[in-house]
């Protein structure tokens, strides 16, 4: 209980960190952007003969993800699709039905493809017993 007794609001006009963040300090995002902007040579993942291209480290990382996707890595493929087309939102209709999935009842749910804007409804569950 001693810890709870120590909890107090800061005095009005005073901060819990009076010196604050040092001036000129950079956050991780700034440092990463600076690193990703550096010049680099990239092996074109679509090239059969290992064509070298000029670009940035950001381009090189993107090329590495594309190469992984081309070699069958589904996580890399999903990352590319999510970045290029956006994540597909899942809209659940009748969420109360989900507790009955293991009892042989089906639950309708709807998904919308953001690329085609088509909305489709499916039933999940309802396994034969």
Q: Which residues contact 110 (CB under 8 A, 6 or more apart)?
A: 91, 92, 93, 119, 120, 121, 122
Residue-level pLDDT at 129: 42
Average pLDDT of 3-8?
71
Beta strand pairing status for 106-112 and 90-91?
A: antiparallel
Q: Which residues contact 75 (CB under 8 A, 6 or more apart)?
A: 68
Q: For the chain, what are the domain ranges?
A: 35-87, 90-125
Planar angle of CA 13, 17, 20, nearest 5 degrees:
100
Whole-angstrom distance, CA of residue 71 vs CA of residue 85: 21
Average pLDDT of 101-124?
61
Predicted confidence (pLDDT) at residue 35 exceeds the cutoff of 90: yes
- Tens digits of per-residue pLDDT, 52-108? 999 999 999 999 999 999 999 999 999 999 999 888 776 666 555 544 434 555 556
Whole-angstrom distance, CA of residue 60 vs CA of residue 41: 7
Whole-angstrom distance, CA of residue 97 vs CA of residue 55: 51
Taking alpha carbons only, the member of 113, 124, 110 closest to residue 87 is 113
Residue written as tokens 């990463």? 32
Average model confidence (pLDDT) for the chain? 78
């Amino acid at each position: 209980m001693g810890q709870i007794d120590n909890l107090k609001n800061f005095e009005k006009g005073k901060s819990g960190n009076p010196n604050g963040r040092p001036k000129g300090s950079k956050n991780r995002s700034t440092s990463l952007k600076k690193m990703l902007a550096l010049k680099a040579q990239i092996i074109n993942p679509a090239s059969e003969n290992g064509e070298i291209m000029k670009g940035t480290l950001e381009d090189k990382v993107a090329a590495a993800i594309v190469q992984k996707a081309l070699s069958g890595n589904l996580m890399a493929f999903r990352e590319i699709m999510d970045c290029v087309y956006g994540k597909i939102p899942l809209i659940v209709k009748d969420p109360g039905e989900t507790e009955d999935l293991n009892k042989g009842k089906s639950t309708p749910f709807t998904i919308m493809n953001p690329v085609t804007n088509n909305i489709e409804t499916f039933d999940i569950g309802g396994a034969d017993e």
